[in-house]
């Protein structure tokens, strides 16, 4: 089981925003997370916890976005099946991402 499902992401200074705010502004690059957002930090920890405890037979999520993708990624990495319930209006690109992760 992986020690962590999220990665350490860079913190980059934004000169344009720093000039607007008249001080240093840094951007945390969470879009570089394996699932594409910061959601993997909390969701990944929760999924890993239940997997370690042996209480994860299947992960179930209701999301049309990054939370569902974080659950799907976590399940794939932890070897736990995932079902993500999505609204009918979910964009095709997100459905494809969820399917690619095995949800």
CATH code assigned at 67: 3.40.50.1100
Kindly report, residue by residue over 65-85, the tens digit of the pLDDT: 999 999 999 999 999 999 999
Containing domain of residue 68, as a range?
11-100
Whether residue 6 is contained in a domain is answered as no
Whether residue 85 is contained in a domain is answered as yes
Distance set, CA 43 to CA 3, 22, 28, 60, 103 (Å): 14, 35, 18, 12, 15
Could you give the CA distance from residue 81 to residue 59 in angstroms, rounded to a whole number? 6
H-helix or E-strand spanning residue 16: helix 15-21
Whether residue 5 is contained in a domain is answered as no
Whether residue 69 is contained in a domain is answered as yes
Whether residue 4 is contained in a domain is answered as no
Report residue 2's pLDDT band, with 50, 70 and 90 as the boundaries: confident
Query: Looking at 2-11, 44-53, 81-90, which range is the least confident one?
Result: 2-11
Joined tokens for residue 34: 């394996």
Looking at the structure of the chain, the number of domains it has is 1
Compute the average pLDDT of residues 5-12.
Answer: 97
Which residues make Cβ contacts (< 8 Å) with residue 33, sequence separation at least 6? 6, 7, 9, 40, 41
Whether residue 36 is contained in a domain is answered as yes
């Amino acid at each position: 089981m992986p020690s962590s499902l999220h990665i350490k992401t860079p913190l980059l200074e934004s000169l344009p925003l720093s000039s607007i705010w008249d001080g240093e502004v840094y951007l945390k690059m969470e879009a570089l997370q394996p699932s594409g957002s910061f959601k993997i930090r909390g969701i990944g920890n929760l999924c890993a916890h239940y997997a370690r405890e042996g209480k994860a037979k299947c992960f179930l999520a209701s999301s049309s976005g990054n939370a569902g993708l974080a659950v799907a990624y976590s399940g794939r990495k932890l070897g736990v099946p995932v079902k993500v319930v999505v609204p009918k209006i979910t964009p095709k690109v997100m459905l494809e991402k969820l399917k690619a992760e095995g949800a």
